Structure 1
């Protein structure tokens, strides 16, 4: 089992260095199968979508036990590598986080630097040390999990003033890569020039998001390695369900 998960982790890492890795994030086993069956080489969860399905708010509002149980169902449903949005690690010690992540069958994780208990961003040095310990725990477990270190400085709730968000993201991203992260995810970046600067300044793969000024072609041109969509497809699916239900209600009223 360890050898199989090691191979999947290595495959997931390799996917960050080839063609643009596109991850339409999923929320349950059914949506994971849709993505895998479509031919995408890996599956990624979105904490906001998973927690919504479970009936909780995002931002570690759902019990970790339920979040990891959902991750396990997703990993069992597909044969491609799975990476889990583990938010800020749920207050777990690194060894426990790695053990519980691997128990789900996942071989990668998002780990964000927002401190949900204190509010705002975690201190960069302390978070980098924690990431280094996660990396060490994964090495000890024999599975080189892929760590996507999310930097939240561009989010308004981070408290980082807009003029210094780019510099702060570069500073944090470099520290996280030095600590053993495989990829840096500067969530909330909407400007092409900011994204290009991050790709140029960070010595490792960068995860981007599409948006009004950042389509897939632009992100590929800039040099982004990985693109994820968060809860976007879950919201689209629920909007479609809402439309269908309203149509049913209208039909019922006319009957």
Structure 2
């Protein structure tokens, strides 16, 4: 289980976020070094809302599907808030995801007190051992916690708590300005992960600033569903076939991407 951790040691790991086995297979074919899941995309694909609503057994099955389709690439699972406020229950659920093949997880604080997330991380680490890459998500930007000028310091404070609890990385979605990014990189001892977000600098700039991981989050699935909505709307209105073929991958091309064996 060292491959995923090694991808954070230098350079910038760019992670596309899959929402099912098919999207994972597509991303693998396009050269992704690892595959992450998007909790929102996984939930939407299964007809559930995002936000710790998806039953854990469905998360585990989605993990199995993505691991199979990734065909040996490391897989990191968006584990939301752990699907419980009880650290013991969170740890038990995390163990099932690891057993399904995940080499990493994201787990979020939701902008609340860092103490609960720290307790969850301690419990997860005790349950699964040292090899799982635990990426602690700090939601002070997404949730608008505190004054804007104090958020980097607050994220650094939370990051230190999460690192002490056993986290390996710090994820700060919503942080976009170069000065703040550079300040947080300098202030944390863990690899910094950012989320694709309006106003975020490009990959070369992020790498220069010392960011180690960039995630698409729900951006790709949102765009895909937006395109599906536009096509469906048009098809319902006029039944035209031609728009459905524009930019589409062919049946044979897509079918060939899907693994016919269970090699992982």
Which bin holds the TM-score, normalised by the shorter protein? 0.7 to 0.9
**Equivalent residue for 1:88?**
81
After alignment, is 204-213 or 41-50 more displaced? 204-213
Write the distance in 1 (CA, Å) between the matches of 2:239 and 2:35: 39
In the TM superposition, what whole-angstrom CA distance separates every residue of 1:161-204 from its partner, at most 9, and x where no partner exists? 32322211110011111222111001111222111111111011
Tell me the CA shift for residue 46 of structure 1: 0.5
Q: 1:100 to 1:164 in 2, by over 3 A?
A: same
Q: Structure 1 length normalisation: TM-score?
A: 0.86
Tell me the CA shift for residue 226 of structure 1: 0.4
* Residue 48 of structure 2 corresponds to residue 56 of structure 1: yes
Tell me the CA shift for residue 52 of structure 1: 1.1
- Could you tell me which of 125, 132, 138 is aligned with 2:122? 132
* Residue 87 of structure 2 corresponds to residue 97 of structure 1: no
Write the distance in 2 (CA, Å) between the matches of 1:145 and 1:226: 16
Tell me the CA shift for residue 72 of structure 1: 1.5
Write the distance in 2 (CA, Å) between the matches of 1:104 and 1:253: 42
Q: Structure 2 length normalisation: TM-score?
A: 0.83
Write the distance in 2 (CA, Å) between the matches of 1:213 and 1:83: 22
Consecutive unaligned residues in structure 1, runs of 5 or more: 1-8, 115-119
Write the distance in 2 (CA, Å) between the matches of 1:206 and 1:249: 45
**Equivalent residue for 1:107?**
103
Q: 1:252 to 1:168 in 2, by over 3 A?
A: same
**Equivalent residue for 2:152?**
166
Write the distance in 2 (CA, Å) between the matches of 1:86 and 1:33: 21
In the TM superposition, what whole-angstrom CA distance separates every residue of 1:180-235 from its partner, at most 9, and x where no partner exists? 21110011112221111111110110001233242212211111000001110001
Q: 1:253 to 1:151 in 2, by over 3 A?
A: closer
Tell me the CA shift for residue 146 of structure 1: 0.7
* Residue 133 of structure 2 corresponds to residue 146 of structure 1: yes
**Equivalent residue for 2:170?**
184
Q: Where in structure 1 do 4 or more consecutive aligned residues deviate above 6 Å? A: none
Write the distance in 1 (CA, Å) between the matches of 2:94 and 2:54: 19
**Equivalent residue for 1:65?**
57
* Residue 232 of structure 2 corresponds to residue 245 of structure 1: yes
* Residue 179 of structure 2 corresponds to residue 197 of structure 1: no
- Could you tell me which of 155, 158, 161 is aligned with 1:175? 161
- Could you tell me which of 5, 10, 13 is aligned with 2:2? 10
After alignment, is 186-195 or 157-166 more displaced? 157-166
Kept in 2, the 8 Å contact 1:71–1:106? The answer is yes
State the superposition RMSD in angstroms: 1.9
Kept in 1, the 8 Å contact 2:91–2:120? The answer is no
Write the distance in 2 (CA, Å) between the matches of 1:252 and 1:82: 39
Matches within 5 A, 1:201-240: 201-210=187-196, 211-240=198-227
2:17 aligned counterpart, secondary structure: coil
Aligned length: 236
Kept in 2, the 8 Å contact 1:101–1:107? The answer is no
